[in-house]
Amino acid sequence: MKNFSWRALLLWTLPILIVGFFLFQGSISTNTGNIGNNTASTRMTYGRFLDYLNTGKVASVELYENGRTAIVQAMDPEIDERLQRLRVDLPANSPELIAKLREANIKFDYHPVTNDGALWGLLGNLIFPIVLISALFFLFRRSNNMPGGPGQAMSFGKSRARFQMEAKTGVMFDDVAGIDEAKEELQEVVTFLKQPERFTAVGARIPKGVLLIGPPGTGKTLLAKAIAGEAGVPFFSISGSEFVEMFVGVGASRVRDLFKKAKENAPCLIFIDEIDAVGRQRGAGIGGGNDEREQTLNQLLTEMDGFEGNSGIIIIAATNRPDVLDSALMRPGRFDRQVMVDNPDIKGRLEILEVHSRNKKIAPEISLEAIARRTPGFSGADLANLLNEAAILTARRRKEAITMSEIDDAVDRVVAGMEGTPLVDGKSKRLIAYHEVGHAIVGTVVKDHDPVQKVTLIPRGQAQGLTWFTPNEEQGLISRSQLMARIAGAMGGRAAEEEIFGYDEVTTGAGGDLQQVTEMARQMVTRFGMSDLGPLSLEGQGGEVFLGGGLMSRAEYSEEVASRIDDQVRQIIEHSHNLARKIIRDNREVIDRLVDLLIERETIDGQEFRQIVAEYTEVPEKEQFAPQL
């Protein structure tokens, strides 16, 4: 009797109970005496009835309900002595009434109680239980025959994993680009499943688990789909959150049921997406008690590498939070391989763009290499979204193929948001223009800063204007001079406001810039050892991730060192701020020209910007990145 639901039972039986109640009431009302159509709406007291009887105003009397009720035809003096039907409730013991009626020679009749209601009462008492039992029987049969029916109470412990004997995901390894190292690791897993003798002949054993680690959108789930499509073995897929329930023991039961089905279909693959939902570190948080998630994790650990083992089952899991996973889950023997799926480099981005451009009409002049160069830090999902946004803009503009204009707008939209309405207020527009040109001029003059790509006054997202910088190389490591240059460039907007309009006219537009430079300067001091404090790492890369994890922790340095950290951060920012103000003062003439040009056009390309600046001052030669594609 699986899939039983008390809620469904109530919904079915409530109407039956209501119908049965009215049937039962109908049978009672029938048996109480059949007055029928002879009822009277006006009542009269028994005393007044005797007065009418003594004065000869009663014409006829009809007795009902064993003499307890009478319908009397009497002449009412208040309505011109006309006959009126009146109802009288008689006392239980009134034997003298019949004698009085006979003495007054009044016509009367007696109507005995009919026994027709007994049949209805019997039918009502039989039909109601029969209908109720039939409904219950129908519900039980439906619950047994339909696993996905309304009842789920008895199936809580069953696994909700999607099972495919031969997974047809539509994704193969050829459809996955930009993560060649991860593909190579996982192709070995597929070979293990297809040709295990190649590895067992030299004593190698099949890995029990592969953990895919990487930021969101880098292709972890896509890789799992490719493995399912290539392997040709039974495939189970489930999310980590589907193990977690509010009922005690349900998660552990689902884990047992999943591995039981997997062992019946071995060799097979199990894919658990977002495993951090169930695999978080045990013992974290405040207080104790029975944690249902921990019980589920314990069962998962036992099934992956317990006493019985799980030969022939390979578990593939994905997460973007490896720092919160339990250490027992990460050890060899459970997840033997941890595959990093990171954001692609320029070569990987080019391969991803080639994959996603197969089904799109692209103009011949578009260079995918140029797009890959302009999108450092983009994940595979970002690049797919970029080309899709460009295709949508192309259709909206009624063009036949995607051009570079749509690519530029799509990049801006993905990074900064939707395009807003251009400014019309002259004063605000000029102030924002000086702010953005201040960023661009400092970034152009300072040697170690990234080159300017574009300056625009077109609002996007929450920004009223934007200055784009494009890194000229794939920067895995960043030098101190580059960080100082970025801080100076970020302070260029505030410096321009102060030099052009005065300190009293500075605006809130630099709020985001100040947050950015403060964070960069603090990391230089506390993490990277780039200050007068020396080569010390005083803070970790992130804060506590568990509730209560930092209650008992304390700062790893004294208050004196904390004060010195604040002084060093302030010195770095003030040095960069003064440098930015000096650059603004020294280049005021070219800044005014650039602002007038920007207000007129609303957008200036980076190449044109550098050419104009070069007419007034020396522009340092910035290294151009030429990767091997």
pLDDT tens string 407-424:
988 888 888 777 777 777
Structure-block tokens of residue 466: 């934007």
3-state secondary structure of 430: helix
What mean pLDDT is predicted for residues 305-318?
A: 76
The answer to whether residue 607 scores a pLDDT higher than 60 is yes
Instruction: Using the structure block, give the residue that is written with the tokens 């499943």.
Output: 193
User: What is the b/e burial string over 561-583, where b = at least 16 CB atoms within 10 angstroms of the residue's CB?
Assistant: eeebbeebbeebbeebbebbbeb
Pairwise CA distance, residues 341 & 336, whole Å = 16
Whole-number pLDDT of residue 582: 94
Pairwise CA distance, residues 404 & 369, whole Å = 12
Tell me the CA distances in angstroms from 431 to 434, 439, 491, 579, one per residue in order.
5, 13, 15, 21
Of 223, 184, 175, 181, nearest to 355 by C-alpha is: 175
User: What is the b/e burial string over 392-429, where b = at least 16 CB atoms within 10 angstroms of the residue's CB?
Assistant: ebbeeeeeeebbeebbbbbbbbbbbeeeeeebeeeeeb
Instruction: Using the structure block, give the residue that is written with the tokens 């790893």.
Output: 556
What mean pLDDT is predicted for residues 282-291?
A: 58
Pairwise CA distance, residues 568 & 564, whole Å = 6
Predicted TM-score (pTM) above 0.75: no
> Tens digits of per-residue pLDDT, 4-43?
455 555 555 555 555 555 555 544 444 444 554 445 557 7
Instruction: Provide the sign of the torsion angle of the four alpha carbons 518, 522, 523, 525, taken in this order.
Output: positive
Pairwise CA distance, residues 286 & 302, whole Å = 26
Pairwise CA distance, residues 283 & 83, whole Å = 92
Q: Which helix (H) or strand (E) holds 217?
A: none
Structure-block tokens of residue 503: 């300190």
Q: Give the CA-trace dihedral at 501, 503, 509, 511, to 10 degrees.
A: 160
Cis peptide before 267 (omega within 30 of 0): yes
Q: Give the CA-trace dihedral at 439, 445, 449, 450, to 10 degrees.
A: 80
Pairwise CA distance, residues 444 & 35, whole Å = 106
The answer to whether residue 174 scores a pLDDT higher than 70 is yes
Whole-number pLDDT of residue 419: 75
Whole-number pLDDT of residue 248: 63
Pairwise CA distance, residues 319 & 224, whole Å = 12
DSSP annotation of 72 reads E
CB 349 within 8 A of CB 370: no
| Phi, psi for 586 (deg, rounded to 5) | -75, -20
3-state secondary structure of 127: helix
Structure-block tokens of residue 115: 């026994």
- 6-14 contacts at long range (C-beta below 8 A, 24 or more positions apart): 6/153, 7/150, 8/139, 8/150, 8/151, 9/136, 9/139, 12/135, 12/136, 12/139, 13/132, 13/135, 13/136
3-state secondary structure of 289: coil
> Tens digits of per-residue pLDDT, 501-552?
998 889 888 888 999 999 999 999 999 999 888 888 887 655 544 444 444 4
Whole-number pLDDT of residue 442: 93
Percent of the chain with pLDDT over 90: 18
Read off the pLDDT band of 592 (50, 70, 90).
very high
CB 334 within 8 A of CB 209: yes
Structure-block tokens of residue 272: 């658990």
Give the residue numbers marked as catalytic. Answer: 436
The answer to whether residue 114 scores a pLDDT higher than 80 is no
